[in-house]
């Protein structure tokens, strides 16, 4: 029997509806509007399209949106100053720095200017450290969305074997920590893992964030495994595929996220929820 589809598009839609209600209640209580500021260096079409989509979603949620656009040749001091100014501006509750930054800029130095209490993307080392310690933190949105899908569909995590393919600071590594916090036994795989299939076949939950189209195929999975595919890979014909070969995996897995329509739509939902949470914690002090 083919796998159950973990429908991120549908879940993100229902989360957006409840966010709208919660933002309205927040505005009524505090007489303030939560605001997200996005810092973007010009010149990356993919980033520009992403920022347009965030702006649209903020508008429909009732969250104020502010864009700080900097020229492609922006120098480090100017970039640092923009992030510092937003960090100390009380009308801004969440800050998103669009990555990757141009090579001439030191990303770590830019992130260091960010007030971690406004770090709604979970990229500040303070939030990464809090997450590693299992304390309350802003969690990177993509793995948070993957966990929300598992929770929404009632998938048992505690006591199960899980593998995460990929160890980046924004997806793989935080996903592994979140699974550990949810009491799974977790193996982190990466490009030096010698026999990926042997590891995956032992696992009940497989989360993939490698950026390699079709890396994980159905024959590498344990029958009934739950598969979370974070991969976004664009083919020459303009279509999008994940890191999991969906056609073969859907026949073996018990549940699987499609690409598109799985983890992708969840990411923005998590971001906007973080903006509201950040505003609430800043104003309730
Ligand atoms: P990175 O390139 O930073 O990390 C990729 C990871 O995959 C690395 O740890 C790398 O290992 C590992 N890897 C690469 N090839 C293999 C292989 N053959 N076998 C095992 N492991 C491998 O990517 P990101 O984490 O930023 O992104 C991963 C994917 O998730 C991309 O497709 C990206 O587009 C997507 N993504 C999706 C989002 C969403 O909203 N759904 C948001 C952000 C990203 P090593 O460390 O050894 O190099």
Q: What is the residue extent of each domain of the chain? A: 31-116, 141-264
- Residue 264 in tokens: 């992708």
Q: What is the whole-number distance in angstroms between the Cα of residue 96 and the centre of ligand 1? A: 20
CA distance 89 to 69: 17
State whether residue 124 is helix, strand or coil: coil
Q: What is the whole-number distance in angstroms between the Cα of residue 222 and the centre of ligand 1? A: 22
CA-proximal residue: ligand 1, atom 15 (nearest): 191
Which atom belonging to ligand 1 lies closest to the Cα atom of 210?
A: 7
141-264 and 31-116 share a CATH fold: yes
pLDDT at 90: 97
On whether the CB atoms of residues 79 and 71 are closer than 8 A, the answer is no
CA distance 166 to 190: 5
Q: What is the whole-number distance in angstroms between the Cα of residue 22 and the centre of ligand 1? A: 33
Q: Specify the fold of 31-116.
A: Rossmann fold (3.40.50)
Which atom belonging to ligand 1 lies closest to the Cα atom of 243?
A: 32
Q: What is the whole-number distance in angstroms between the Cα of residue 230 and the centre of ligand 1? A: 8
pLDDT at 78: 97
Q: What is the whole-number distance in angstroms between the Cα of residue 206 and the centre of ligand 1? A: 14
- Global pTM reads 0.97
Angle of CA points 79, 137, 140, to nearest 5°: 60
Counting every residue written for the chain, the total comes to: 285
- Residue 269 in tokens: 């939902």
**Ligand 1 binding residues, C-beta < 6 A:** 142, 165-168, 170-172, 189-193, 196, 209-212, 215, 230-233, 263-264, 267
CATH class of 141-264: alpha beta
Residue 87 CB partners (closer than 8 Å, separation 6+): 95, 113, 114, 115, 118
Instruction: Note down pLDDT in tens along the chain; length 285 residues.
Output: 899 999 999 999 999 999 999 999 999 999 999 999 999 999 988 889 999 999 999 999 999 999 999 999 999 999 999 999 999 999 999 999 999 999 999 999 999 999 999 999 999 999 999 999 999 999 999 999 999 999 999 999 999 999 999 999 999 999 999 999 999 999 999 999 999 999 999 999 999 999 999 999 999 999 999 999 999 999 999 999 999 999 999 999 999 999 999 999 999 999 999 999 999 999 987
Mutating to test ligand 1, I would choose from 144, 211, 231, 244 the residue with most ligand atoms within 8 A of its C-beta, which is 211
First to last CA, the chain: 52
Q: What is the whole-number distance in angstroms between the Cα of residue 180 and the centre of ligand 1? A: 19
pLDDT at 10: 98
């Amino acid at each position: 029997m083919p796998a159950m589809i973990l429908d991120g598009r549908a879940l993100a839609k229902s989360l957006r509806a409840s966010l709208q209600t919660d933002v309205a209640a927040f505005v009524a209580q505090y007489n303030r509007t939560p605001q997200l500021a996005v810092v973007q260096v010009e010149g990356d079409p993919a980033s520009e399209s992403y920022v347009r989509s965030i702006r649209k979603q903020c508008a429909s949620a009732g969250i104020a949106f502010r864009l700080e656009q900097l020229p492609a040749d922006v120098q480090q001091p100017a970039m640092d100053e923009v992030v510092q100014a937003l960090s100390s501006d009380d009308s801004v509750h969440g800050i998103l720095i669009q990555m990757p930054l141009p090579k001439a800029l030191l990303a770590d130095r830019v992130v260091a200017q960010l007030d971690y209490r406004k770090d709604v993307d979970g990229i500040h080392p303070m939030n990464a450290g809090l997450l590693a310690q299992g304390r309350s933190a802003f969690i990177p949105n993509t793995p948070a969305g993957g966990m929300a899908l598992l929770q929404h569909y009632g998938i048992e995590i505690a006591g199960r074997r899980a593998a995460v393919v990929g160890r980046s600071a924004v997806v793989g590594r935080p996903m592994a920590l979140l699974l550990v916090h949810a009491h799974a036994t977790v193996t982190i795989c990466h490009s030096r893992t010698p026999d990926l299939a042997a590891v995956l076949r032992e696992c009940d939950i497989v989360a993939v964030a490698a950026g390699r189209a079709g890396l994980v195929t159905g024959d590498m999975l344990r029958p009934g495994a739950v598969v979370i595919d974070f991969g976004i890979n664009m083919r020459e014909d303009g279509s999008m595929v994940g890191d999991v070969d969906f056609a073969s995996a859907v026949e073996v897995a018990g549940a699987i996220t499609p690409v598109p329509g799985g983890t992708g739509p969840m990411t923005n939902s998590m971001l906007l929820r973080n903006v509201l949470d950040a505003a609430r914690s800043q104003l309730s002090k």
